[in-house]
Amino acid sequence: MVNAEIGVIGGSGFYSFLEDVTEVQVDTPYGSPSDSLFLGEVAGRRVAFLPRHGRGHHLPPHRINYRANLWALRSVGVRQVLGPCAVGGLRPEYGPGTLLVPDQLVDRTKARVQTFFDGLPLPDGTVPNVVHTTFADPYCPSGRKAALAAADGRGWQAVDGGTMVVIEGPRFSTRAESRWHAASGWSVVGMTGHPEAVLARELGLCYTSLSLVTDLDAGAETGEGVSHTEVLKVFGENVARLREVLFDVVGALPATEDRDCLCTHAHDGWELGIELP
C-alpha cells in the first residue's frame, strides 16, 4: 500500500489546515503507532503526518511506540522523514524562537527500545538478525541541506549544526544536569529525538530534525525554571512559521528514486533476517 513518500512526525498543527486529508490506521508487528496516519498533499508530494504524542498529547516521551511509528510510515511508502520537535536551548544565544538543524545526537534515555534488530522473534515467527547499524552521522545530509535552505528562504536564519542531547523525560532537567549538558558542548536538549532517528536509519529512511527552541534550559537561565505551559506557549507562537518551513522542505527533498545518501546504505553487507515493508 503505497500512499506517501515523505513522513512528518509532529503535532496536528502540521496537517490540520490541509484539504482532502485521509486518515489511515496501520497495524505493525510492534503494536500500534501513536495515532492514525493522516495522508495529504504538500507541494505536489504525498505526505503522511503522524502525531508523535497522539491526538490530545496523551503519550509522554518514554511511552511513545517509536518502532511502530517508523514501521507504519515505511509501510505506506515513506522513505524520507521530517521530525520537528520542541527543545530547550543550552546556550544563551539559543533563546526561544531559535530554529536549529542538528547534525549530531547524544542519547541519555534509559528505558526505550531502540532497535528492530534485537534477535527476538516477531509475532509471525520471523527472527531479526542482530545488526550493528552505522550511526556516526545520525541525520540525513540531503534533508539538512533542504531544511536550512527552506528556513533561509522564509527569512528564518537557522543554526546550521549542533548536538541534540535526548533525555528520558517527562520531567525537565535539573540545573546541574543542564549545566553538565552545556559544559559538554551540546546545543539543545529534547525528549523525543531518540530513538526516532536511529530507528529511521535502521529502516533505511532519511531523517531530518528541525528543532525549535522554546526555552532556555534550567542551567542556562535564572528564575524558576522552564514549565510545560511556557513550552506550549512558545511552540504555539511559532507553529505557523515552522509549518511553512516544513512544507517548503517537503517540496525541496529529492525524489525517492534519486536518493543516494548515507541513509540508503545503512544495511550494505548485512542480512537483516526480516523483510522490511
Q: Which domain holds residue 43?
A: 6-265
Task: Calculate Rg over the CA atoms of the chain.
Answer: 18
* Domain assignment of residue 106, yes or no: yes
* Domain assignment of residue 275, yes or no: no
| Domain count for the chain | 1
* DSSP code per residue over 138-176: -S-HHHHHHHHHHHHHTT---EE--EEEEE--SSPPPHH
* Domain assignment of residue 273, yes or no: no
List binding-site positions for phosphate: 12, 52-53, 192
Is 41's pLDDT higher than 60? Answer: yes
| pLDDT band with cut points at 50, 70 and 90 for residue 225 | low
* Domain assignment of residue 172, yes or no: yes
The single residue listed with the C-alpha cell 528492530 is 116
CB-based contact 102:139 (threshold 8 Å):
yes
* Domain assignment of residue 255, yes or no: yes
Q: Which of 215, 248, 260, 268 is catalytic?
A: 215
* Domain assignment of residue 147, yes or no: yes
Average pLDDT, rounded, for the chain: 92
Grid coordinates given for 238: 511559532
* Domain assignment of residue 242, yes or no: yes
Distance CA 121, CA 119 (A): 7
Cα-Cα-Cα-Cα dihedral sign, residues 96, 10, 225, 167: negative
Q: pLDDT (tens digit, 9 = 90+) per residue, 137-190? A: 999 999 999 999 999 999 999 999 999 999 999 999 999 999 999 999 999 999
Active site residue 248: no
Active site residue 215: yes
List binding-site positions for substrate: 191, 215-217
Q: Which of 35, 107, 217, 248 is catalytic?
A: 217
Grid coordinates given for 195: 530513538
* Domain assignment of residue 150, yes or no: yes
Average pLDDT over residues 107-121: 95
The pTM of the full predicted model, rounded to 2 decimals, is 0.94
| pLDDT band with cut points at 50, 70 and 90 for residue 216 | confident
CB-based contact 164:193 (threshold 8 Å):
yes
- Say which CATH number the domain at 54 has: 3.40.50.1580
